[in-house]
Structure 1
Amino acid sequence: MLPTPSSPAASSSASSSSSTHRPRLYIPPTTTYPLPPPPIAPSFSQPRPTSCPIIIDNGSSQLRAGWGDDSSPRFIRDQLVSKYKDRKLNKTVLLYGREAEMDASSKGHSKTVWDGDVLTGAEAMEHALDYTFMNLGITASSVEHPILVSERLATPLHSRALMSELLFEAYNAKSVAYGVDSLFSFSRTGKQDGLVIGMGNSSTSIVPVVGGRGLMTSARRLAWGGTQANELMLKLVQLKYPSFPTKVTAPQATFMVREACYFAEDYQSEIISFADPSRMAAKDVLVQFPFVVPVSDDKSEEELARMAEKRKEGGRRLAEMQQKQRLEKLIKQETDMASFREIKDAKLTDKKVAYQARLENAGFESEADLDAAIKKIEESMKRARKKDLGEDAPPEEEPLFPLILVPDAELNEEEIKEKKKQKLFKAGYDARMRLKAEKLAEKARMDELEKKEEEERVNDLEAWCAKQREDHEATIHRISERRRRKAALGDRKSAAAQSRMKSIANLAADGPAPKKRRKGGDDDGFGKTDDDWAIYREIGNGNESEEEEDDQTLLKTLESRLLNHDPTFSLTQTFLARSQQQNSLLTAFLRGDDGSASEPRFDPESLEQSYQLHLNVERSRVPEVWFQPSIAGLDSAGVGEIVEHVFRERKNEERRRMQEGIFVTGGSASLPGIVARLTATLRPVLPFQSSFNVSSPSEPRLDAWRGMAEWSRTQEFGKALITKKEYEEFGAEYVKEHRWGNYRTG
């Protein structure tokens, strides 16, 4: 089953984290998210008079429709249409709203009515209108009710013409009027002057209102809205959790933006405060994704004891098998040793030719090979017996090389071969002895340095501590740079990776080497100097692990000395403490854990926690783009700058009246903190000590529809309607001007 907020599995799975008071958001299963709001009531049994207008708030995200004498829309549907043929039922299926994404087939054929916030899909819009009129109880071949439709700021004439053609041609509408959604929302305030900020789904519009009319020539538009904010949230989450076990979808990102994001009153201070892990954890919101709880096969104590005994029995059998193999190997070695000694003793009785034939039959080329085999078996048998008795291996004895000093003239062919082998053995033995001597000399040198350093510490403690601190910082810098370079090499676009590729390209610039070079032929001489091998070290980084180990050892030694002898050096200055401070910030960023005992630790084995996202910085960063579009790479002024520019264009008296009616509406205006943030942004840019008022409706998503419904009850609505006769006479692009429409020119 899938744990959801209402399921028992969710309650049980969340019990392990019940000690925390962090806010939680539960992502519903993708097959049911988001749940489409049902129609308020069927309208088939409630016929309305033909004078009652139909109100359609035709947004790019959702369509809200209802009757003009209602206080709320009859239904709300997402602007998605899916039309496809079901092969199982052999029928054409038409779905509208979020139901268009209920399965893979419908989702694959779904499309939106809009391209951004411009109406382009006439066929899809026709399906949406079919659904609208059907749910309003209109079954006749023509729509006798007047229709009021909302549109975006500066709607292209072609988009409005498509809508008019649909309404008048396909539905035989009686009359239609258009208006800007954000202005209809402002009309509910009752003010004659103000500034409307419409935070729509695909864009944000800023429209000044003077004398109860929207001034379209002074209006401005920001190409950032709810859709772009949702996409930014999706990208931030994907970058933050690249190995998340399930795919985060666009509807889920929309859910996170609506439920978790807020406008910070002072964004810079907010971000700086997140340097404290506890502050970041305090702002953290946990997002729990649905997951399938595995069925646990609980075993009884008797079964567990039986399985443990079975494992012990298997271990005993394995030990016996290994003991048997060692015994068989020892018996074989003893048998081989007896046969080899028999061949060795035969040298005293056999002739030289017969003895050589005996050696060759046994697989030896000479008597020296036989002696080496005998010696090897003896050493192996000795080690095996000592291992069984638990004794340590004997120290290496100095070998004898009797033939090295004998001239070749005094040796036969077999002895010369043996002399070459002894030279190789002696070279290896000498190398081991030199290494041992170098280690002893190095130990003596280090002892001497420690003694000298001890004298320096006793004679001048302050200078000694300063030198140790310098070495400590230099070592930390080397370790940090090495780790930074290692991380940079993982990014093929980084400067380090590019430099590495240039080195490889320079090495391969002359083409591949020939398969076979003649002796003394085309040799480029590469590798004869240390600089050549430095290139290989730069490419392969072969010594980094050894250097890292040496630096870590030196770092521990330096920190131990400073902690013991420097009173100003504390544990918080150690490399581990510094790393933990940085790691605690990363942990708070990724897991919402500030390190306090009251918070549950992240458990990699927990299935529930592996399906959790933590939103902290993203909660204020995503909405901040409205005020700082450069955060998302948008080359545009923010809302605060646009509002300042619009105010500067108006006269002082007009601006003073407009400042008292700054109104924020639209779906994204429902995010918390928008009024406080806009107030803090405008206070420094408006005239000193000038009064202004920023307000927002209680339900920004429905306020435009309610404003349209209220305006449709006025006489002005009747004058703004375009009749079917006027449509046929003047064309689909014909419009009538009114206060809240797109048509004011002054």
Structure 2
Amino acid sequence: MPFISLIQRQSDYTNFASDVPIVIDNGASYFRIGWAGETDPRVIFRNIVLRPRHKGTGETVTVVGDHNTTLLKYFDMSRAGPRSAFEDDVVCQFEIMEYVLDFGFDRLGADQSEIDHPVLITECACNPLQSRSKMAELLFESYGVPSVAFGVDAAFSYKYNQRLGICDNNGLAVCSGFNTSRVIPFIGGEPVYEACCRTNVGGYHITDYMKELLSLKFPQHVSKLTWEKVEDLKMEHSYIAPDYASEVQIFKQGGKEAEEKTRCWQLPWTPLPVDEPPSEEEISRKAALKERQTQRMRELADAKRVSKINELENGIKGLEFLLQQLRNFEEKDIPAFLKETGYTSRQEVESSLIKNTQSLRKLKGEQIEVEEKPDSLLAERFSLINVPDETLTPEQIKEKRKQSSLKSAAEGRQRAKQKRVEEELERERKIKLEEQRRLENPQRYLEEMHAKYKEIMEKVEQRKRLKTNGTQTNGNNNNGTGAIGRGERLNAAQRERMRLLTTAAFDRGKGEDTFGIKDEDWHLYKLMSKDNDDEDDYKPDEDEAELARISSRLREIDPLFLAMSSEPGSSVAEAPRSRPLTEEDFQITFGVERFRCPEILFNPNFIGIDQAGLDEMVGVAIRRLPSKGRELEESITNSILLTGGSCLLPGMSQRLEAGIRMIRPCGTPIQIFRASDPILDAWRGAAAYATAMQFPYQTFSRMDYYEKGEDALRRYQLRYNI
């Protein structure tokens, strides 16, 4: 299975003798491998594995640690999330661990079939026997390693800094790693594992907590807040507050100090292009182009008009010739002659001639005077209307009925047309008067429009309330349950009709039915059928149309006007107008998040973990020491070493010292030192330890593994003072 990686393979593997140990710092975050005696590891990569498939061939490829992102576009990453072999700093997934070791030995330049060098590998404090035995089985069975040594990474870091003179023989190692944080006491240079303390909070939880907070704060930029980017933001901007409560108050009150402590991450943003005014040449070019287009359209319109004129002239000549022929026929023979022409009578031909003549004059631009048709022309068109039916034949009677219908329709269209013209003139007159009033006194006009809008709005809402709930003025109709009776949903006219019906039914039930004998009884039907609505003057359609017109008018003249919906109790009807995105919309600011996220190292309950913080862990580790004594405890607190990636956060030493002073007796000497390199000191300490003459005696050989089995690892423990 091929690897995809950016790490170059080492080429000097054969230059090292077989007795030179290979040193591995197997951390939950990074895997470091190199040679004993060197100052830096040869290969460093993230301790994760991906197994994507090729989109074309379906081949599975192993991606370990840092990879070439340009090649991953050819692979399906939807089902290949990053996987780690660790669960809370304990190796549990050894099939993943095998991929990591394969890749590490391959990048170091070794032949994976057999590793003929001793291996020193780090593990967590108090590592379970199951994990250690599986790791030994993997190294002995799969790689043929001659011997293995297991050591604690925090202990190697402490011993390395002890050689540099930073910490003493007695002290504490506070290691805040990727998944966990541990406190290990040292007495006489050896770790006291029965007194060590661990909490399941580390750098991973800080990053994950910050990613969650920023995603909630900026949901529109979730895709930009990748885990790797948030990790960089954490290491660049996070710090540990000396006093968390006081720091929160600073940001709660705001001010200059809070503004100075706020950081901003600017996302890629391209400003909208600014429309520059066109130059004179561009304006002239567009004007010339527009003029050419206008000329072309004008020429097309002229050609079309000329064609239409020719068509109408030919049609008029044909109609005139047809009328001349009709003069030679009698009236009764005209329908038979016009049967093939599509006309039915002489009047229809004359009407078509007049219509075509008017259209021709209109196209030629001549003045056309629209006059009402004279009575003589109407009499000729509808000649049979006034003729008695006795003097007409059956065909003429049918024609008479047809002419009557046509005349009624024509008169109706004429009346409707006249009404529309009058309404349009009246509307234009009102608009001119309204505009004139606005120009005379704009402020008064605006107040009147607002008052009118309010009045009509209340009227519409009142109408809808009455339609839904009734007037609620008739207290006798209340059903006693708080509900509204049917009578309360009726208007005054409907309630009156209901009263009349009830009265008539009541009188009928008294005895003999004598209803209808008197003429006054039949008057009751008239009252019941008559729609005496007390709100006849209310016209919902007209009021709603007027409300819409006033709203539109107010939006034009009043920029502060917000039209309200006609529904009772509703808010603004218009949706908020969108604005163009600016540079501030692509900024991620974080202030409280800078110190709130690292605070979980001292208060894990922030993320729902009910465990002790780093300062409490120091007190727990000191209380667990098998040998008690004030001098011993003071010597331990006088040499506290901070190691691990999370110890790089600013303010860690001050905050830890303040927390320890609160739980230790007054006057206890407390000195906290940070490792020379909190990340690489564990590997450097292990590399220096592997060069000692006594190191071969601290290893667990393959022969011992085959002879004694995994139970021998239970009694195996590395001694650091050699």
Q: Which whole-Å CA distance do the structure 2 matches of 1:243 and 1:184 have between them? A: 45
Q: Structure 1, residues 111-148: CA drift from partner, whole Å, max 9, x if none?
A: 32323422133232222222222333333743222211
Offset at residue 60 of structure 1 (A): 1.0
In structure 1, C-alpha distance between the alignment counterparts of 2:180 and 2:223, rounded to whole Å: 30
CA separation of 1:106 and 1:309: change in aligned 2, threshold 3 A = same
Q: Paired residue for 2:684?
A: 706
Gap change, CA 1:117 and 1:541, over 3 Å in 2: farther
How much does 1:246 deviate?
A: 3.4
In the alignment, is residue 382 of structure 1 matched against residue 426 of structure 2?
A: yes
Correspondence for 1:58 among 20, 23, 26: 26
Secondary structure of the 1:201 match is coil
Q: Which amino acid aligns with 1:635?
A: D
- The alpha-carbon deviation at position 252 of structure 1 amounts to 1.5
The AA in structure 1 aligned to 2:616 is: E
Measure, in 2, the Cα distance between the counterparts of 1:648 and 1:728.
41
SS at match of 1:57: strand
Does the 8 A contact of 2:169 with 2:187 survive in 1? yes
- 1:545 and 2:571 correspond: yes
**1:622-633 matched pairs, under 5 angstroms:** 622-633=597-608
Q: State the match for 2:105 in structure 1.
A: 133
CA deviation profile, 1:274-332 (whole Å, cap 9, x unmatched) = 1214323211222234568999999963586469979999xx9xxxxxxxxxxxxxxxx
Q: Which amino acid aligns with 1:261?
A: S
TM-score (norm 2): 0.59
Distance 1:715 1:416, change over 3 A: same
> Any conservation in 1 of the 2:194–2:624 contact (CA below 8 Å)?
no
Report deviation, 1:174.
0.8
Residue by residue, what CA displacement relative to the aligned partner does 1:558-597 show, whole Å, maximum 9, x if unpaired?
xxxxxxxxxxxxxxxxxxxxxxxxxxxxxxxxxxxxxxxx
Match of 2:589 in 1: 614
* Counterpart mapping for 1:320-359 below 5 A: none
- Structure 2 contact 55–76 (Cα < 8 Å) conserved: no
Does residue 268 of structure 1 match 2:245? yes
User: Which of 421, 426, 440 is matched with 2:537 structurally?
Assistant: 426
Instruction: Assess if the C-alpha contact under 8 Å between 2:24 and 2:122 holds in 1.
Output: yes
> Contact 2:5–2:68 (CA<8 Å) still a contact in 1?
no
Matched residue type, 2:194: T
| Cα drift, residue 696 of structure 1 | 1.1
Choose which of 216, 219, 224 in structure 1 pairs with 2:196: 219
Residues in 2 aligned to 1:631 and 1:85: alpha-carbon distance in whole angstroms: 39
Deviation at 1:238? 0.5
Task: Summarize deviations over 1:217-248 as a string: whole Å, max 9, x none.
Answer: 22111111111111111111110101127342
Once the two structures are superposed, the pairs formed by residues 200-599 of structure 1 within 5 Å of their partners are: 200-244=177-221, 246-274=223-251, 275-290=253-268, 301=279, 305=283, 361=409, 378-385=422-429, 387=431, 391-392=435-436, 425-426=536-537, 542-543=568-569, 545=571
2:160 is aligned with 1:188? yes
In structure 2, what is the Cα distance between the partners aligned to 1:673 and 1:360? Answer: 99
Deviation at 1:637, TM superposition (A): 2.0
Query: Which range moves more in the overlay, 252-261 or 93-102?
Result: 93-102
1-structure distance, mates of 2:416, 2:59: 88
Indicate how the Cα distance of structure 1 residues 370 and 159 shifts in structure 2: closer, same or farther if over 3 A, else same. same
Q: What letter matches 2:428 in structure 1?
A: A
Cα 1:87–1:236 shift into 2, 3 Å: closer
CA contact (8 A) 1:65 1:76 kept: yes
Q: Is the 8 A contact 1:158 1:733 kept in 2?
A: no
Inter-partner Cα distance in structure 2 for 1:337 and 1:225: 98
Deviation at 1:204, TM superposition (A): 0.8
The answer on whether the counterparts of 2:23 and 2:683 sit within 8 Å (CA) in structure 1 is: yes
What displacement does 1:186 show? 0.9
Change (3 A) 1:424 1:141: closer
Question: 3-state SS of the aligned residue for 2:622?
Answer: helix
The residue number in structure 2 matching 1:605 is 581
1:74 aligned residue (42, 47, 70): 42
Partners of 1:370 and 1:424 lie apart in 2 by: 34
Q: How far is the alpha carbon of 1:611 from its aligned partner?
A: 3.6
CA RMSD of aligned residues (A): 5.0
Do residues 166 (structure 1) and 130 (structure 2) align?
Answer: no
Deviates more, 1:384-393 or 1:132-141: 384-393
CA distance in 1, matches of 2:101, 2:254: 53
Query: In structure 1, what is the Cα distance between the partners aligned to 2:411 and 2:197?
Result: 97
Percent identity for Structure 1 against Structure 2: 29
Task: Specify whether residues 618 and 388 from structure 1 end up closer, same or farther in structure 2 by C-alpha distance, changes over 3 A only.
Answer: same
Partner Cα distance (1:77, 1:255) in 2: 16
Distance 1:674 1:228 in 2: 17
2:661 counterpart of 1:686: no
TM alignment of 1:82-121, pairs within 5 A = 82-86=50-54, 88=56, 93-99=61-67, 103=72, 105=75, 107=77, 108-109=79-80, 110-121=82-93
Moved more, 236-245 or 133-142: 133-142
Contact 1:604 1:610 in 2 (8 A): no
Stretches of structure 1 that go unaligned for 5 or more consecutive residues are: 1-34, 317-334, 344-348, 397-408, 410-414, 433-539, 547-602, 742-746
Amino acid at match of 1:95: V
Partner of 2:45: helix, strand, or coil? Answer: strand
Correspondence for 1:456: none
User: In 2, are the aligned partners of 1:57 and 1:705 still within 8 Å (CA)?
Assistant: yes
Equivalent-residue separation in structure 2 for 1:730 and 1:544 (angstroms): 83
The answer to whether structure 1 residue 152 and structure 2 residue 124 are counterparts is yes
Tell me the distance in 1 between the aligned counterparts of 2:567 and 2:529.
41
The 10-residue stretch of structure 1 (199-208 or 287-296) with the greater mean CA deviation from structure 2 = 287-296
2:23 is paired with a residue whose SS is strand
Superposed CA deviations along residues 396-441 of structure 1, whole A, max 9, x for unmatched, are: 9xxxxxxxxxxxx9xxxxx999996997653569x99xxxxxxxxx
Contact 1:213–1:739, Cα closer than 8 Å, also in 2: yes
Using the alignment, how far apart are the partners of 2:680 and 2:603 within structure 1? Answer: 27
1:662 aligned partner? 640
Change (3 A) 1:422 1:239: closer
Decide whether the 8 Å contact of 1:58 with 1:64 is kept in 2: yes
User: How many angstroms does 1:208 deviate by?
Assistant: 1.6
Report if aligned partners of 1:143, 1:171 keep a CA contact under 8 Å in 2.
yes
1:325 — aligned with what?
Answer: none
> Residue 309 and residue 702 in structure 1: after superposition, are their counterparts in 2 closer, same or farther (change >3 A)?
farther
- Contact 1:148/1:712 (8 A) holds in 2: yes
Gap runs ≥5 in structure 2: 163-167, 295-368, 379-384, 387-400, 439-447, 450-519, 521-525, 544-565, 573-578
Q: Over residues 80-127 of structure 1, what are the superposed CA-to-partner deviations in whole Å (9 max), with x where a residue is unaligned?
A: 223455355776533321217662527443532323422133232222
**Equivalent position amino acid for 2:613 in 1:** G
The one-character-per-residue Cα deviations of 1:630-650 (angstroms, maximum 9, x if unpaired) are 211222221112222222344
Instruction: Tell which deviates more after alignment, 110-119 or 125-134.
Output: 110-119
For residues 45 and 740 of structure 1, what CA distance do their matches in structure 2 show?
28
* 1:74 to 1:604, Cα distance in 2 relative to 1, 3 A: farther
What TM-score, normalized to structure 1? 0.58
- State which drifts further: 372-381 or 245-254: 372-381
